[in-house]
């Protein structure tokens, strides 16, 4: 592997087992065949290499779809150094396949907190000039431990709602040191990945970890934002009776108009067979809720951090705990009731399943690629604030996606465009 800028890319990795690379490569090939938008960008920029000179540190779930993004960035000329953003979401075979073809990557499934931050530190060794985050842990490490790197960083991107919240709060405090593009907030990300991706993959995780019948079950969804709505829709589609809990009046109202019962968690706790949190907020399911649950209740989370279900409080109620099946811990409480926690309260769709389907990540990661390209070109002219992606980019990505599905849509005629801006036209 050639040395670039004194950095020996190909020798820099720590993965579970490099021998898993063959299986990982097959998974990546599968994802590529379902990510036509991102692959068209790879083809477009392969020759011109507009990312040449870019050193990208990335911290995001290492899945087969992420591998397609990483290899697209490298094909466009970037150097990368990568880590996963969750202790349980790394697909070890994918990590091995990336390492085997020269990507600098530090990640494995089942790491502890110390290892988690050690890996992020490794990705900062090559002094990145762009960062990519999912949850803002990498950016936070730059700001708190290595602020000296910030002047050399053109900008960064953020993939998820919780990360964008953290970064906006930081910007409001005047603490953000370089520009961020909120990829999460793009229409072609938030309204698709969070809704349909999380909807399907969270149910996939629940089923892989429990194989329960959803039809006829009372299914409690905490949070009726993008993710919660997707999960509720899909659970209802499988025949579950969905209850929603919310703190935002308009979101609660939407849930009722979309056919779901809405109530407080205190009440839902007694009724639910399956609980899923999708709020990005801590302490959604706590001791008083576990105390009310039915025997056999199943609890999981699909929000970014594992703070939504208070497992520490559940631990204080338990008489016995055992792993009943993969990603499924049975807690027997002192009164004999059993509560099942899936994926340790971490993102159930990534820890117990494979994350979102490739088709939906295609658009999210096309946004990531184009946002990093924009930062490479214009980052030095942007303020140290959280920036939205341009509306035009959203429409372009959606248009390409439609065309790859063989769909053509109508165009506004000249007369219609004039009508749209003619405030004098009435009845
Ligand atoms: N599992 C995944 O793959 C995945 C994908 C995308 C986003 N996420 C994460 O999921 C979480 C939700 O993201 P989103 O895009 O749906 O956010 P969102 O802002 O669209 O929705 C969150 C909803 O939760 C509600 N809420 C907040 N506190 C609550 C409480 N105490 N009780 C009930 N409801 C409450 C809010 O009012 C809001 O309607 C975030 O942590 C995000 O980072 C996970």
> Which residues surround ligand 1 with Cβ inside 6 Å?
160-162, 194, 198, 222-228, 245-248, 251, 278-281, 284, 302-304, 347, 349-350
Measured from the Cα of 226, ligand 1's closest atom is 16
Residue nearest to atom 38 of ligand 1 (CA): 225
Measured from the Cα of 248, ligand 1's closest atom is 37
Q: What is the 3-state secondary structure (H, E, C) of 85-123?
A: CCCCCCCHHHHHHHHHCCCEEECCCCCCHHHHHHHHHHH
Mean pLDDT of 141-162: 97
Close Cβ partners of 109 (under 8 Å, ≥ 6 residues apart): 16, 87, 88, 89, 90, 91, 92
DSSP H or E segment with residue 158: strand 155-158
- What is the tens place of the pLDDT at every residue in 174-207? 999 999 999 999 999 999 999 999 999 999 999 9
Phi, psi of 249 (to 5 degrees): -60, -45
- What is the tens place of the pLDDT at every residue in 69-109? 999 999 999 999 999 999 999 999 999 999 999 999 999 99
Cα–ligand 1 centroid distance for 278 (angstroms): 4
Residue nearest to atom 39 of ligand 1 (CA): 225
Q: CA-to-CA distance for 195 and 175, rounded, in angstroms?
A: 31
- What is the tens place of the pLDDT at every residue in 9-52? 446 899 999 999 999 999 999 999 999 999 999 999 999 999 99
pTM of the entire structure? 0.94
- What is the tens place of the pLDDT at every residue in 269-327? 999 999 999 999 999 999 999 999 999 999 999 999 999 999 999 999 999 999 999 99
Question: Which residue among 84, 279, 352, 363 is best mutated to probe the pocket of ligand 1, counting the most ligand atoms within 8 A of its Cβ?
Answer: 279
Residue 4: pLDDT band (50, 70, 90) is very low
Measured from the Cα of 302, ligand 1's closest atom is 1
Cα–ligand 1 centroid distance for 422 (angstroms): 40
Measured from the Cα of 251, ligand 1's closest atom is 39
Q: Tell me what pLDDT residue 12 has.
A: 85
């Amino acid at each position: 592997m050639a040395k670039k800028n004194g950095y020996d890319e190909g020798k820099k990795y720590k993965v579970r087992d490099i021998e898993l690379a063959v299986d990982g490569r097959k998974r990546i090939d599968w994802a590529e065949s379902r990510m036509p938008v991102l692959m068209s960008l790879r083809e477009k920029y392969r020759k011109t290499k507009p990312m040449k000179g870019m050193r990208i540190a990335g911290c995001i779930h290492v899945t087969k779809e992420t591998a397609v993004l990483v290899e697209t960035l490298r094909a466009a000329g970037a150097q990368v150094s990568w880590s996963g953003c969750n202790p349980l979401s790394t697909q070890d075979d994918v990590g091995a396949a990336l390492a085997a073809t020269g990507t600098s990557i530090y990640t494995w499934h089942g790491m502890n907190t110390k290892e988690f931050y050690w890996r992020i530190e490794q990705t900062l060794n090559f002094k990145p000039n762009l960062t990519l985050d999912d949850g803002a842990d990498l950016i936070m490490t730059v700001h708190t431990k290595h602020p000296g790197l910030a002047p050399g960083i053109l900008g960064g991107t953020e993939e998820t709602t919780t990360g964008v919240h953290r970064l906006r709060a930081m910007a409001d405090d005047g603490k953000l040191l370089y520009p961020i593009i909120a990829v999460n907030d793009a229409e072609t990300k938030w309204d698709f990945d969070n809704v349909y991706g999380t909807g399907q993959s969270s149910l996939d995780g629940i089923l892989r970890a429990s194989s329960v019948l959803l039809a006829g079950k009372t299914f409690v969804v905490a949070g009726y934002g993008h993710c919660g709505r997707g999960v509720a829709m899909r659970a209802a589609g499988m025949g579950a009776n969905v209850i929603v809990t919310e703190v935002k009046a308009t979101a609660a109202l939407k849930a009722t108009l979309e056919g779901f019962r809405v109530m407080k968690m205190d009440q839902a706790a007694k009724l639910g067979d399956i609980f899923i949190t999708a709020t990005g907020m801590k302490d959604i399911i706590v001791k008083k809720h576990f105390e009310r649950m039915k025997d056999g209740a199943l609890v999981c989370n699909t929000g970014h951090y594992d703070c939504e279900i208070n497992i520490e409080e559940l631990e204080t109620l338990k008489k016995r705990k055992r792993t009943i099946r993969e990603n499924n811990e049975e807690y027997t409480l002192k009164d004999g009731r059993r509560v099942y926690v899936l994926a340790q309260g971490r993102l159930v769709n990534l820890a117990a399943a494979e994350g979102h389907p490739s088709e939906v990540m295609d658009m999210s990661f096309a946004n990531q690629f184009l946002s990093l390209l924009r930062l490479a070109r214009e980052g030095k002219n942007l303020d140290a604030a959280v920036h939205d992606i341009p509306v035009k980019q959203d429409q372009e990505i959606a248009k390409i996606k439609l065309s790859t599905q063989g769909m053509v849509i109508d165009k506004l005629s000249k007369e219609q465009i004039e009508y749209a801006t003619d405030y004098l036209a009435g009845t």
